[in-house]
Each structure stands twice: as structure tokens, then as C-alpha cells.
């Protein structure tokens, strides 16, 4: 959804084409909230550094009015201005408390049942073997492929409302 965060979307597309996300894991899974992945540190055998890696190229904040509904895809940050990273998170459920605080780059258009399945994996709720809420078994992102908007999907405005395709 480049109309919402053009620089962020272009950066994610570029990183996807370069294989940046391939072989990474979903290192943070919170049912009823979101799943987070795409950290290059998650490729190594050290779970304690998962969630701490990122691309050295800064991604500007492009916060907008899009509501954080189920299926929204956004970029993670450290909760402070200027800290947006290329790590992605997908909303498992609506959370309006995130509105205007993260760069929204897209929306899941098919396959939300996979997000649901990921939220059912066992996690380390207290962080004994890595970050809190990390799956006890790796949930691997094998490959990310940059695609164009599906035909007939319409477009979205800044509030995330979908307009019919013409």
C-alpha cells in the first residue's frame, strides 16, 4: 500500500527482492495481538539476539491514520521517533492503540488462517531462551516475494478504507 508509506513500501520491496527476509523467523508471537518477524539475526543459532537486528539504512517514520485492524502489515520500531526498522509485524487482531505510531506497508489479502496457525505455536512467555514471546520452535519465513497489488483489489485511502476497483 504505497499510498500510505511510499518510502517504507519501496524499502520493503527492495529488501524482499534482495532476499533480506528469506530464512528469517517469526521471533515474536502474541495471540490476539500480532506476529513479528524478518530480523536477520534470527537466522543464526542464538535466539537471544532475535528482534535486535535490522538494516543499517534508516527508514523514515511515515505514520498515518490507517487503523490497525486484523491483517494489517506494518514495520516495527523501538517506540520512539526515528527508530523504524524493516522488521515486519502482522496484526492478529485489531488494536487501535497502535494507530499513528507505526508505518503501515500493507494488508494480508489472503492467508489469514496462516497467521492464526502461527499464533497457536508454543512460545516462551517469559524469555528464558531468548526474547519474551519467542516460539520454542522456529517458525521460518522461507521466502518473501515482492508482488504487485492483486488485480481487482481496489485501492485504499489514508484511513485504510478500500475503494472498489475500476
pLDDT tens series, the chain, 166 aa: 999 999 999 999 999 999 999 999 999 999 999 999 999 999 998 999 999 998 888 899 999 999 999 999 999 999 888 999 999 999 999 999 999 999 999 999 999 999 999 999 999 999 888 899 999 999 999 999 877 655 444 444 444 433 333 2
What is the C-alpha separation between 27 and 147, in angstroms, rounded? 24
The answer to whether 99 and 134 have CB atoms below 8 angstroms apart is no
What is the C-alpha separation between 40 and 24, in angstroms, rounded? 6
What is the C-alpha separation between 79 and 162, in angstroms, rounded? 28
Closest C-alpha among 129, 139, 113 to residue 26: 139
Owner of C-alpha cell 498515518: 64
Can you give the pTM of this predicted structure? 0.87
What is the C-alpha separation between 17 and 142, in angstroms, rounded? 13
Q: Which residue ranges make up each domain of the chain? A: 6-140
DSSP SS3 for 6: helix
Indicate the CATH number for domain 6-140.
2.40.100.10
The answer to whether 66 and 158 have CB atoms below 8 angstroms apart is yes
What is the C-alpha separation between 68 and 76, in angstroms, rounded? 13
Amino acid at each position: 500500500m504505497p499510498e500510505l508509506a511510499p518510502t517504507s513500501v519501496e524499502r520493503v520491496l527492495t529488501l524482499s527482492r534482495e532476499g533480506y527476509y528469506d530464512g528469517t523467523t517469526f521471533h515474536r508471537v502474541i495471540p490476539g495481538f500480532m506476529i513479528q518477524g524478518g530480523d536477520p539475526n534470527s537466522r543464526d543459532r542464538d535466539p537471544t539476539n532475535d528482534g535486535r537486528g535490522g538494516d543499517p539504512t534508516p527508514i523514515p517514520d511515515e505514520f498515518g491514520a490507517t487503523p490497525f485492524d486484523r491483517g494489517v502489515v506494518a514495520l516495527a520500531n523501538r517506540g520512539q521517533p526515528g527508530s523504524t526498522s524493516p522488521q515486519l509485524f502482522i496484526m492478529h487482531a485489531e488494536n487501535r492503540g497502535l494507530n499513528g505510531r507505526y508505518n503501515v506497508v500493507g494488508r494480508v489479502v489472503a492467508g489469514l488462517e496462516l497467521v492464526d496457525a502461527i499464533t497457536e505455536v508454543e512460545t516462551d512467555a517469559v524469555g528464558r531462551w531468548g526474547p519474551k514471546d519467542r516460539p520454542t520452535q522456529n517458525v521460518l519465513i522461507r521466502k518473501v516475494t515482492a508482488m504487485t497489488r492483486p488485480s481487482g483489489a481496489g485501492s485504499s485511502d489514508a484511513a485504510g478504507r478500500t475503494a472498489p476497483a475500476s
